[in-house]
Amino acid sequence: MAGCCGHDAKFDGVSDDYKRRLWLVIAINAVMFGVEMTAGQLAQSQALQADALDFAGDALTYGISLAVIGASLRVRSNAAMAKGISLLLMGVWVFGSTVYRVFYVGVPEAGIMGGIGFLALAANLASVLILVKYKDGDANVRSVWLCSRNDAIGNVAVIIAALGVWGTSTGWPDLIVAAIMAGLFLSSSVQIIRQSLAERRGEEAHLGHSH
């Protein structure tokens, strides 16, 4: 992961190739949300449902990213800020619902978890490969890359959780993975919010100098 603190001009997404890639990734995420949320309900898996929520959040945030391409830096940094806050809320929701499940635990269906986990991993690795060329952009572009990368990490974790559930016949591995994913949402949200604030401060300083 390259640093994001340079002072050079960041790629802002104004490219037909980038837009095409983004549309493709939005479609992949929207389909996987439906598949994984249904499977999460059937398998009673908190980790699968957390991952499904991640797909939904990504489809939405990628749509926002697409909408603000070519807009002013302030609009783009505000969009990134909105995405950072939505990730924060998703993290809090997953964490809260995981704590609830600790006291209301049914053992998830390991077979469904593992199978869907592999399908989701394939979808996310495809998204990462589609977007990797553009991973070091402004806060708006970078948030797209971070979300895709998180998803791939999350899917590996769901597969590990499925193996743990199968091996231990308890729901604990599923809950532990859901809690880790909540932490991942929260850390990414902090990174995106921090970069969007830095870009906004940079723009304000630039405008101050130009007056």
Please report, for residues 40, 48, 49, 181, 209, the alpha-carbon distance to residue 53 in angstroms, rounded to integers and kept in the order given.
10, 9, 6, 11, 43
According to DSSP, the residues that pair with 11 across neighbouring strands are: 137
Q: What is the pLDDT of residues 31-44, one digit of tens each?
A: 999 999 999 888 88
- Cβ of 137: how many Cβ atoms within 10 Å? 19
Q: What is the mean pLDDT of the chain?
A: 82
Find the mean pLDDT for residues 93-105.
74
Give the closest residue to 55 by CA, choosing from 116, 102, 114.
116
pLDDT of residue 35: 94
- The full set of domain ranges for the chain reads 16-210
Please tell me the distance from the alpha carbon of residue 154 to that of residue 41, in angstroms, as a whole number: 18
Q: What is the pLDDT of residues 111-157, one digit of tens each?
A: 988 999 899 999 988 988 888 888 777 777 777 777 777 778 878 88
Domain 16-210 CATH assignment equals 1.20.1510 = yes
pLDDT of residue 34: 94
